[in-house]
Amino acid sequence: VGLRGIEAAKIEAACASGAAALRVGVMAIASGQADVVIVAGVEKMTDTPIDETTAGLALAADQEYEVAEGATFVALNAMLMQRYMHEYGVSHRDFAPFPINAHANARNNPFAMFRTPITLDKYEKATVIAPPINILDSSPVCDGAAAVVLVPLERAREFGRHKRIVRVAASIMAT
């Protein structure tokens, strides 16, 4: 590629690595530290036996609080989902458009893991893993990759992509 002296960083944040890397990229652009940032992520999980993968994922949990109490990531997310439903007065059914849309988008992607569209009825009848989360609310152990090019808004037009610009309006992280 011919690129030399280009800074690179590896961001590790368990299931939030992609969001954390995107935030670092956005902050580099917003601060003027960089003019162009490529945020790329790769996850290869299917070459490892599922019990080893599960054990590896468990290492990302807080050993003192979460593991000691027997909490899994799905259980923690179920609690968050329950709280969200309570706070905003929404039902589990209100989450259905997310997997329905994802499966519809995957239908024409030959590399997608799940290419079969799902219906609202199928979503509502899906096996519950940790109430209210069902199997269609959850991500499977799989392989994947994604990349995004970040530039300041004024530079985006230089690349002739003005019709495909996505503006990052906010980026928040918390512990």
Q: Is the pLDDT of residue 62 over 90?
A: no
Q: Is-above-0.75 flag for pTM?
A: no
> Do residues 103 and 116 make contact, with C-beta atoms less than 8 angstroms apart?
yes
**What value does the mean pLDDT of the chain take?**
89
Six-digit token pair at 54? 């599960």
Q: Is the pLDDT of residue 157 over 90?
A: no
Q: Is the pLDDT of residue 169 over 90?
A: no
> Do residues 107 and 117 make contact, with C-beta atoms less than 8 angstroms apart?
yes
**103/83 Cα distance (integer angstroms):** 26
- Spell out the domain ranges in the chain: 1-44+143-175, 49-140
Task: Provide the pLDDT confidence category of residue 174 given band limits of 50, 70 and 90.
Answer: low
At residue 66, the pLDDT reads 78
